Structure formats: C-alpha cells, structure tokens
Amino acid sequence: MVAEADKKIVLLHNFDRNDYTRLLNFLKSSGLSSKTIVAVTTSVTLDWKVADLIKELFLEDEALRDQTKG
C-alpha cells in the first residue's frame, strides 16, 4: 500500500479522450511515478470540494490496486 502522503494527483479538465490518452502516454514515457494518480473531471465531480475529490481518488486508486493484485 502506498501512503497517501506519498501520492501525487494530476487533475485534468476539458480533455477529450484523444488528448487525455496522448498526455497520459507522454507522462508515462517521461517517468511518471506509479504513485501518481491522473484523473479527469466529470460533471459530477465539478461540484465537489477538492478535499472530497482527493479522498475519493485515493479510495478508487486503492481499489484498483487491490483488483490488480488478484
């Protein structure tokens, strides 16, 4: 488990899928840490407080990591 204090978040807004994919590929090829969460805003999350969004992103990231463990 990666401690939340060690994680970084990149939050994108108004990126279409193509731009998001190109940016994500670039970030990965430039050595983006696996401790970095890349997220895109949605119509739902635009109304959230930043602290609530960060908490949700940490929870989702942990759930994805648990799924990939098997």
* Residue 40 vs residues 1, 60, 69, 70: alpha-carbon distances, Å: 23, 13, 24, 26
Q: Which helix (H) or strand (E) holds 69?
A: helix 50-69
Mean pLDDT, rounded, for 9-37: 92
The number of angstroms, rounded, from the C-alpha of 25 to the middle of its chain's C-alpha atoms is 14
Residue 70 has pLDDT above 70, yes or no: no
Contact of 37 with 57, CB cutoff 8 Å:
yes
The model's pLDDT over 24-66, given as tens digits with 9 standing for 90+, comes to 999 989 988 888 999 999 999 999 999 999 999 999 999 998 8
Task: Give the range of the structural domain holding residue 14, as residue numbers without chain letter.
Answer: 4-69
Total structural domains within the chain: 1
The pLDDT, as a whole number, for residue 48 is 97
Three-point CA angle 57, 65, 10, nearest 5°: 35
